[in-house]
Amino acid sequence: MMPSAWAPGRVNLIGEHTDYSGGLVLPAAIQLGISVEVESVADEISLTSTRDGRAEPFAADGTGAAATGWARYGQAVAAELAALGRPPVGLVAAVDSDLPTGAGLSSSAALEVGIALALCAVADFELPQLELALACQRAELRAVGVPCGILDQAACLLGRAGAAILLDCATLDYRLVPVPGRAALVIVDSGVERSHESSGYAQRRAELERGLALVGAERSTQVTPPDLEGLDPVSLRRVRHVMTENERVGRFAAAFEAGDLETAGRLLGASHASLRDDYEVSIAELDLLVELADAAGGFGARLLGGGFGGAVLVLADVDEADRLGGEIVEEYRSRTGREGRALTVFASSGAVLR
């Protein structure tokens, strides 16, 4: 019987743009994801997506002419696994997804992890979870030039039902944080698609790294308020965001552990303000959705993912989630003419091989 891999998307509760500076994040895997059904073993890797069609086959070790479109991720994963010693065994596989793309739920990481698990299975090759996550992180950079952190791939692999993952992105130490039973995680998509390839993501990372170098910090958790004195305005804003965001991650985890959704919601609002003003990755549509979420009675909201489009995360009471999501979408449509959509997600188990 041929193997089948499933890899979830993720929602990052708080800790945005902190992962690539060795900071703290609090993601959770979600119930939506990508499946990779292996149909046969082959000399090459041949992938067909129900959403995007058939990709041009490529070598089992990821070598050869660069793939195009979504196949770039698969080829990059194959190359990274080959560098770690995976035998060059190919496959024919069908890829299916119920995970929205471009909404900040990390569809690319889910695709990378799903393909990686399938490739490891057919080659009888195993890697520890975090080593596999790091390989998939490198694959993202190789595929599309996005210098992402480890957050997405780690959440995809480490997810547990009913829990978020408090992860130190420098040491890769982590612990589980239970999601309170009355908490609902509502994703509201702005309808504004974004791509890290064409957004200011890489520029923001470069600006942050410059600021950290100016204060002599190797990772963002080493920064203290006195370090901000004397920085140029751009470096000040970028470094201040990650410094305060790391602090918010710890406080949010403590609030969840105490079942204090009011405090957790206020921290989401503060995170969004920092992402908007200090990191400058928000847009008018995301700001409006946060405003509408507050008006509809949510505990708090913030932009989700790298910014420049996509969705917001709204923390709500589980009994109010459907009403709240509907109200936000209706008012957003009336103000912008855009077809927003709301989706309630919950903390799910991580990637599995069947």
**pLDDT tier, 262 (very low <50, low <70, confident <90, very high otherwise):** very high
What is the rounded CA–CA span in Å between residue 297 and residue 285? Answer: 19
Residues 163 and 235 in one domain: no
Residues 194 and 341 in one domain: yes
Asked whether residue 84 is domain-assigned, the answer is: yes
Q: Which domain holds residue 97?
A: 4-175
Residues 61 and 127 in one domain: yes
How many domains does the chain divide into? 2
Q: Is the per-residue pLDDT at 255 higher than 80?
A: yes
Asked whether residue 351 is domain-assigned, the answer is: no
**pLDDT tier, 196 (very low <50, low <70, confident <90, very high otherwise):** low
| 8 Å CB contact between 130 and 89 | no
Q: What is the mean pLDDT of residues 268-291?
A: 98
CATH, residue 20: 3.30.230.10
| φ, ψ of residue 259 in degrees (nearest 5) | 70, 20
For residue 302, give the 3-state DSSP assignment: strand
Structure confidence at residue 43 (pLDDT): 97
Q: What is the mean pLDDT of the chain?
A: 95
Residues 204 and 326 in one domain: yes
Q: Among residues 138, 159, 175, which one ends one of the domains?
A: 175
Q: What is the mean pLDDT of residues 248-270?
A: 98
The length of the chain is 354
Q: Judge if pTM exceeds 0.85.
A: yes
Residues 167 and 257 in one domain: no
Q: Among residues 149, 175, 201, which one ends one of the domains?
A: 175
Which sequence positions are flagged as catalytic? 152
Q: Is the per-residue pLDDT at 212 higher than 90?
A: yes
What is the rounded CA–CA span in Å between residue 354 and residue 338? Answer: 39
Asked whether residue 19 is domain-assigned, the answer is: yes
Question: pLDDT tens-digit profile of 102-132?
Answer: 667 889 999 999 999 999 999 999 999 999 9
Q: Is the per-residue pLDDT at 157 higher than 70?
A: yes
CATH, residue 320: 3.30.70.890
If 0-12 CB within 10 Å is exposed, 13-18 middle and 19+ buried, where does residue 36 land? buried
For residue 246, give the 3-state DSSP assignment: helix
Residues 208 and 151 in one domain: no
Residues 195 and 168 in one domain: no
> Is the dihedral angle over the CA atoms 125, 127, 133, 138 positive or is it negative?
negative
Asked whether residue 353 is domain-assigned, the answer is: no
Q: What is the mean pLDDT of residues 127-139?
A: 96
Structure confidence at residue 242 (pLDDT): 98
Say which residues have a Cβ less than 8 Å from residue 7's Cβ, sequence separation at least 6: 33, 34, 36, 109, 110, 111, 112, 113, 114, 117, 156, 157, 351
| φ, ψ of residue 183 in degrees (nearest 5) | -90, 130
What is the rounded CA–CA span in Å between residue 30 and residue 162? Answer: 10
Residues 185 and 328 in one domain: yes
Question: pLDDT tens-digit profile of 169-185?
Answer: 999 999 999 999 999 99
Asked whether residue 354 is domain-assigned, the answer is: no
